[in-house]
Amino acid sequence: MGGLKHIISTKQFLDTSILENLFLVANQMENEDKNKKIKQTLKGKILASLFYEPSTRTRFSFEVAIQKLGGKVITTESASHFSSVTKGESLQDTIKILQEYADVIILRHNKEGSAQIAADVSSVPIINAGDGAGEHPTQALLDIYTIKKEKGKINDLNIALVGDLLYGRTVHSLLNLLSLYSAIKIYLVSPPELKLPQKYKDVLIQENIQFEEVEDIKKILNKIDVIYVTRIQRERFLSQKEYEQVKGSYIINKEVIKSLKEDAIIMHPLPRVDEISPEVDDDKRAAYFRQARNGLYLRMALLHMLFNGELKQRRL
């Protein structure tokens, strides 16, 4: 079983030992950065950012990550509007060109399955930075890393996933990783229109992970160790009317978190719209900005290990 070439899905990660190694390297990267002693292990490597959808944290953190490790970046923002795509170029042809210029391609695309399409024609690593309503594997990796840092463990936790579970690709990727752990219970909190697709519930069933579907978040707040909030994915709806019907279904504010455990944490992949009130930001349980910072070091570790063949693969 060789080293991982492309990162398309969290299903590729074999077991928790691989994740623990990744977390150790991420911790090392953070310590080296604080002490200004980062090793230039990727000097001469070039990362291409190919984003067909907007991004702030993912794009910038990957670009900063490789530069801190000695590499360089070529980038385009809104590739669907400012590249040869406007002339009708296919994704496959774009990848075939970029592989001649870069050593790794970070791809975000609006269509589910696009990352695998790109990987099928690419001679350089493709990292899926979000493919429509499919997956966002590096977000899930930093989410798990954050839970471990904040709670000291991942096993034996009650975790609530709140909001858009139908289109929320961060949730889809995260569930694959959570299924590797034991003695956890997952609460799936969403309006009926945005329930988790059955294929992801099947993963939980297969791995004997306890889960419960809930509409009223207030009924479970006192049981939760980790509350993972997601925004309603407006861009996935066919009409503004459909979006307005579910917008604001769950709003985490000071009144709501009164019922939350004192040692619980509140997470969000960001960006947020109205689902977490800014008044919560100063609460010690609000971990979402720490979560975003963790993304830099997790992605540094990921790039380092990817290029050095230190990530083991499981075929999809």
- pLDDT at res. 247: 59
State if pTM tops 0.85: yes
User: Which one is catalytic: 6, 10, 57, 304?
Assistant: 57
Is 172 catalytic? The answer is no
Is 136 catalytic? The answer is yes
Is 170 catalytic? The answer is no
- pLDDT at res. 231: 79
User: Which one is catalytic: 6, 59, 68, 136?
Assistant: 136
- pLDDT tens digits, 185-217: 999 999 888 899 999 999 899 999 999 999 989
Instruction: Collapse the DSSP code of 129 into the 3-class scheme (helix H, G, I; strand E, B; otherwise coil) and give the result.
Output: strand
- pLDDT at res. 234: 54
Side-chain-facing half-sphere of 13: CA atoms under 13 Å: 28
- pLDDT at res. 88: 75
User: Which one is catalytic: 10, 58, 138, 170?
Assistant: 58
Kindly give the parts of the chain with pLDDT less than 70: 1-2, 77-87, 233-249, 313-316
Domains and CATH numbers, the chain: 10-136+293-307 (3.40.50.1370), 137-288 (3.40.50.1370)
User: Which one is catalytic: 59, 68, 108, 268?
Assistant: 108
Taking Cα atoms as reference points, which of 66, 8, 9, 26 lies closest to residue 310? 26
Tokens coding 44:
């001469």
- pLDDT at res. 83: 59
Spatial strand order in the sheet of 104-109? 72-76, 46-51, 104-109, 126-131
User: Which one is catalytic: 37, 87, 241, 284?
Assistant: 87
Is 58 catalytic? The answer is yes
Is 57 catalytic? The answer is yes
**Which single residue is written with the structure tokens 């990848």?**
95
Helices (DSSP H) in the chain: which residue ranges?
16-34, 57-68, 91-98, 114-121, 137-151, 169-178, 198-206, 240-246, 288-307
Tell me the C-alpha distance between 201 and 198, whole Å. Answer: 5
- pLDDT at res. 238: 43
